[in-house]
Amino acid sequence: MTKLDPNYQPGEDCLKNRVILVTGAGDGIGKSLSLTAAKHGATVLLLGRTTAKLEQIYDEICALGAPEPAILAFDLSGAQEDDYNTLAASIEAEYGRLDGLVHNASLLGRRSPITNYPAETWQRVMQVNVNSTFLLSKAMLPLLEIPAHSSLIFTSSSVGRTARAHWGAYGVSKFATEGLALTLADELDGISNVRCNTFNPGATRTAMRAGAYPAENPASVKSPEELMPWYLFLLSDDSIGVSGEQLSY
Ligand code: NAP
């Protein structure tokens, strides 16, 4: 499959009793996803680097009467492998498993030709967009193996599927994201309950999009909320059997 059925209707409780970790939960698509998953019954683990933003979402979720989320204050740019393992151990102690992991946090970095691209920005973008997804996946896979079915989602981009000039480390990081997810999906195929897919949300009204296209009228692109049926499909049992796919909005 490459497209979601336009008539897809997620069940109201499709994520009931699920424990789902969302990175970059404080803003943009991650924020919308965290609120939506909680509304559909999930206990959402809100991972991000700006605690104040996570606290606001925590309060919004609690005000909805949804399952109490957790705040994971975690900076993906500086964390080392031990930090990921410590995080996994604390999730296991508190929740005993993980039903979903959405690699959503990313940095845009600089829009410039490769020849002018600052090396420091390159390293930072690759650290957050690629290295952290490797380390977090590796640390969390044992927890994702515990439930009967679980879902691992890597957030991609059009520039990670077709190369485009001046997208620098961001574009390259998304090619690497596709490669990591497909390698992992192939390794898990037939021996694991974990399904693993990439999803390209396409142009979406967020701070990252505004940074990439400062002259664009934000009202001309879709809201994060419009993506939510896709995420609910991929996180819920409705997508059991879907793995190794490069999906797009
Ligand atoms: P966004 O609004 O910039 O949000 C990104 C989130 O990632 C923010 O909450 C940010 O934290 C967090 N983050 C960044 N660096 C981090 C770090 N070192 N540690 C922890 N968290 C960190 O971006 P978005 O547009 O929602 O993008 C979400 C995903 O969709 C990304 O993977 C992006 O590549 C992809 N995507 C977006 C579009 C689009 O048009 N928006 C198109 C294609 C793909 P702070 O809140 O603290 O800054």
Cα pseudo-dihedral 131, 135, 137, 139, rounded to 10: 180
CA-128 nearest atom, ligand 1? 18
Q: How far is the CA of 104 from the centre of ligand 1 (A)?
A: 6
- Output b/e per residue, 145-162; b: 16+ Cβ within 10 A: eebebbbbbbbbbebbbe
Closest atom of ligand 1 to 78 CA is: 18
What ranges do the domains of the chain cover?
A: 19-248
Taking CB atoms and a 6 Å cutoff, what residues make up the pocket around ligand 1? 24, 26-30, 48-50, 53, 75-77, 104-107, 128, 155, 157, 201-204, 206-209
Query: Taking phi first (over 0 means left), then psi (-120 to 50 degrees means alpha), and beta for anything else, what does residue 195 get?
Result: beta
Distance 191 CA to ligand 1 centre (A): 32
Q: Whose CA is nearest to atom 24 of ligand 1?
A: 28
- Specify the residue for token string 């399952």: 67
Which residue among 44, 208, 213 is best mutated to probe the pocket of ligand 1, counting the most ligand atoms within 8 A of its Cβ?
208
- Please spell the DSSP secondary structure of 137-187, one letter per residue: HHHHHHHHTSSSSEEEEEE--GGGTS--TT-HHHHHHHHHHHHHHHHHHHH
Q: For atom 3 of ligand 1, which residue has the closest CA?
A: 208
Angle between helices 81-95 and 132-144 (to 10 degrees): 30
Longest dimension (CA), the chain: 52
Catalytic, out of 95, 170, 213, 231: 170
Architecture per CATH, 19-248? 3-Layer(aba) Sandwich (3.40)
Residue whose tokens read 């939506």: 36
Reference 235, options 107, 59, 105, 103; nearest CA is 103
Confidence (pLDDT) at 2: 67
Q: Among this protein's residues, is 8 annotated catalytic? A: no
For residue 141, report the distance from its CA to the centre of ligand 1, in Å: 22
The three-state secondary structure class of 199 is strand
**What is the distance in A from the centroid of ligand 1 to the CA of 15?**
23
Distance 32 CA to ligand 1 centre (A): 12
Q: Which strands make up the sheet holding 194-200, listed edge to edge?
A: 70-73, 43-48, 19-23, 100-103, 150-155, 194-200, 246-248
The Cα–Cα gap between 194 and 99 comes to 9
Tell me the pLDDT tens digit for each residue of 24-64.
999 999 999 999 999 999 999 999 999 999 999 999 999 99
3-state secondary structure labels for all residues of 35-92: HHHHHCCCEEEEEECCHHHHHHHHHHHHHCCCCCCEEEECCCCCCCHHHHHHHHHHHH
| Contact of 125 with 112, CB cutoff 8 Å | no
Under-70 pLDDT residues of the chain = 1-2
- pTM of the complete model: 0.98
